[in-house]
Amino acid sequence: MPPSPWPYPRLFAHRLGGALAPENTLAGLRLAARLGVRAVECDVKLSADGVPFLLHDDTLERTTDGHGPAAAQPWAALRTLDAGTYHHRAFAGEPLPALAELAGACQPLDVVPNLEIKPCPGREAETGRQVALAAERLWRHAPLPPLLSSFSPEVLLAAAQAAPTLPRALLLEQWEEDAAAQAAALGARALHLPWQALTETRVAALKGAGYALMAWTVNDPREAGRLTALGVDMLCSDRPERL
């Protein structure tokens, strides 16, 4: 169960910089830090040669100038891709970051990450294990460890076995009546749910069961206020400058 009070900041910038920068890039992290945001969310997967790096999709086309499945590319090739131009030409040449680079940038900026472990198909247990081990090592001396999260129970179980001291959160696409039971079975300390699913009754029940809660993806300040008043611990937003 989560410590009281929950130690993580309330506001997380979605995919590092929200809508203001190319997603899952250090440019986004730096922008979030300039805004005063002290927590960020990002997506982590493995290259073909097992390097943890930041990317949301299973394929490269949407956010880079690469092509095909990300899991088929070694890190040396992924590192050369342009992950900024798709957002705006001002970010041309912005690279995909390795998890190690994220750690090296987060700690001097006093920013803590929620690492959403997002495995490519068929690599769930491997990705959960390798990302958890890397996170444990990279943030060993940080005052607050990264929060690990995933939609995949297999990922979370592998992460728990590899680095049991790192806190974990179960992500759900929609409200499920057995959400607390699912989290308990995985040893998760938090639940991350779409903001639309979080009613007063549901928040009270989950908080009463001892879970910290994140609402995603909250961009309206009025909704942010409502959720905060209900007791939601964390808000993940594409528009951190509004919240």
CATH number attached to the domain at 11-56+98-237: 3.20.20.190
User: What are the tens digits of pLDDT across the range 141-188?
Assistant: 999 999 999 999 999 999 999 999 999 999 999 999 999 999 999 999
48, 51, 54, 55 alpha-carbon torsion, rounded to 10°: 10
- Going from the C-alpha of 102 to that of each of 10, 30, 89, 187, the distances in angstroms are 20, 11, 22, 26
pLDDT of the residue at 21: 97
pLDDT band at 102 (very low <50, low <70, confident <90, very high): very high
Q: Which of 14, 87, 88, 192 is catalytic?
A: 14
Q: How far apart are CA 71 and CA 203, in angstroms?
A: 37
pLDDT of the residue at 5: 84
H-assigned helices in the chain: 26-34, 75-78, 99-109, 124-138, 153-162, 179-186, 200-208, 221-230
14 flagged as catalytic: yes
User: What are the tens digits of pLDDT across the range 196-230?
Assistant: 999 999 999 999 999 999 999 999 999 999 999 99
Q: How far apart are CA 225 and CA 118, in angstroms?
A: 29
User: What are the tens digits of pLDDT across the range 68-79?
Assistant: 999 999 999 999
Q: How far apart are CA 136 and CA 29, in angstroms?
A: 20
Supply the pTM of this predicted model: 0.97
Q: How far apart are CA 217 and CA 172, in angstroms?
A: 12
Q: Report the 10 Å Cβ neighbour count for 89.
A: 9
Residue 1: is its pLDDT beyond 80? Answer: no
Q: How far apart are CA 25 and CA 47, in angstroms?
A: 16
User: What are the tens digits of pLDDT across the range 8-61?
Assistant: 999 999 999 999 999 999 999 999 999 999 999 999 999 999 999 999 999 999
- DSSP character at residue 90: G
Q: Which of 56, 87, 141, 192 is catalytic?
A: 56
Q: How far apart are CA 4 and CA 134, in angstroms?
A: 27
Q: How far apart are CA 184 and CA 191, in angstroms?
A: 10
Q: Are 4 and 30 in contact (CB under 8 A)?
A: no
